[in-house]
Chains A and B, each alone.
Chain A
Amino acid sequence: MPTHVEFIRGMTLNYEGRQVSVRPGDRLHVDNSLAARLKRTGNVRLVTDDLAPSEPAVEYRAPIKTSWLDWPENAAMMWTPGTPLPPNDQLVAAQGIIQSYDVVLWLQDYEHVARDLNIRLPDLPTDLVPVFYPHFVVVQLNEWGQELVAYWRQQVAEHGNLTAGLLAAYWHIKPIAAYMPAWGGAK
């Protein structure tokens, strides 16, 4: 499992093969050895509350990071700042897809199911369901999309787990969903 860190100082670092500039307050998932090195040098603090109810995914309706990314007015992104974004081609595709789907979801990975992560879904007849990446979700601002977000937030407030809350909302609301492949940053 990678470690979630919050940067105390701005710096440039090699992150997943890219030079990334971070500002104080930015958060990233980094491998454990890098986290330890950054901690020793006083550049970061370890984030231990990333599943806390007080920190749900943050909703952005304005373009994020890349100014060319022109999201439609009727769509919203749920993004946890500091966490990796999907590849650009998938972001661009999601812009079009969300016009006809309630939600666009990315797979966290291909192998793990809810049972592996001890995610309990009491209303679901199986826990052998894939896990979605909870830090970047695109929803259409229609009835289903808004219900999904509301239910997700309610679950996070009650149980404090972003990943389990998203799964519970997905299976409860039953959105018309588009599924995107996992990518390295989602793991």
Chain B
Amino acid sequence: MSYGIITVAFGQAAQVSVQRLKRSVGDIPLEVIDQPCHDLYPPYSDEFNNWQLHKLAVDRLSPFEYTLYLDADTVVQGDVMAGFELLDQGWDVLMSFSEKQGGRAMWHIGPEERDYTVQLLRHQPLQLQAGVLFFAKNPAVTALFAAWRHEWMCYGGKDQAAFLRALHNSGPVRLGLLGRPWNTSKSDAQTQVLHRFGAARMVGR
């Protein structure tokens, strides 16, 4: 199997963050998308050079069979090979969930989009966090990413609510749930990926 990490880092602040990420990944191949790919969304390439749309297209941009997408403001602290092994065992996607749940879920999403998402799902969902995302290349995952891009374009902005709607609307995906140490802002002995939320804040602006 081919495996590796991909990240999207547009802008100076993101570039600084990604240097820290590079140092942390060891021997695992790292693909950095640092320039808009103008043929990604033809014929609207000028309108769609947003970094987030590139994040939502990493299924198409990744050269790997098994990919770990990481936000540019993350640092690998543990052994992430377990995630690739789980993909090899048959999972389509592996990810963790947000710190904020329940009444605080989707706190950073606009009220209109938040209400629409809850209305569509018909319950307060578990808020997943897509800044650390293992995925395989297969038709189910391709459909999920396509649905994610479609949902994101409805509102723009943050992508978590769009991801929940994409999961709801796309075909079935074998999504394995990882514990918080795989995507956490707390650094301790269990931490696999440290997420320094906001460290690459200027990305894409």
Q: Which residues of A contact B (CB under 8 A)?
A: 89-90, 92-93, 96, 100-101, 107, 110-111, 113-115, 124-126, 128-130, 171, 174-177, 179-183
B97 contacts A100, C-beta separation under 8 Å: no
B176 contacts A174, C-beta separation under 8 Å: yes
Mind listing 21 A-B residue pairs with CB under 8 Å? Answer: A89-B123, A92-B122, A93-B123, A110-B99, A111-B180, A113-B179, A113-B181, A113-B190, A125-B85, A126-B82, A128-B178, A128-B179, A128-B182, A129-B178, A130-B179, A175-B174, A176-B174, A179-B97, A180-B123, A181-B125, A181-B126
Does B111 sit at the interface, judged by CB under 8 A? no
What chain B residues lie within 8 Å of A93 (beta carbons)?
121-123
Partner of B180, one of A92, A113, A177: A113
Does B89 sit at the interface, judged by CB under 8 A? yes
B interface, how many residues as a size bin?
Answer: 20 to 34
Assuming A110-B101, A126-B82, A174-B89, is B181 touching A179 (CB within 8 A)?
A: no
**Nearest-Cβ distance from residue A129 to partner chain B, whole angstroms:** 5
What chain A residues lie within 8 Å of B91 (beta carbons)?
174
**Nearest-Cβ distance from residue B70 to partner chain A, whole angstroms:** 17
What chain B residues lie within 8 Å of A181 (beta carbons)?
101-102, 105, 124-127
Interface residues of B in 73-98 (CB under 8 A from A): 81-83, 85-86, 89-91, 97
A176 contacts B172, C-beta separation under 8 Å: yes
What chain B residues lie within 8 Å of A182 (beta carbons)?
101
What chain A residues lie within 8 Å of B85 (beta carbons)?
125
Partner of B86, one of A101, A111, A125: A125
Nearest residue, chain A, Cβ from B190: A128
Most buried by A among B177, B181, B192: B177
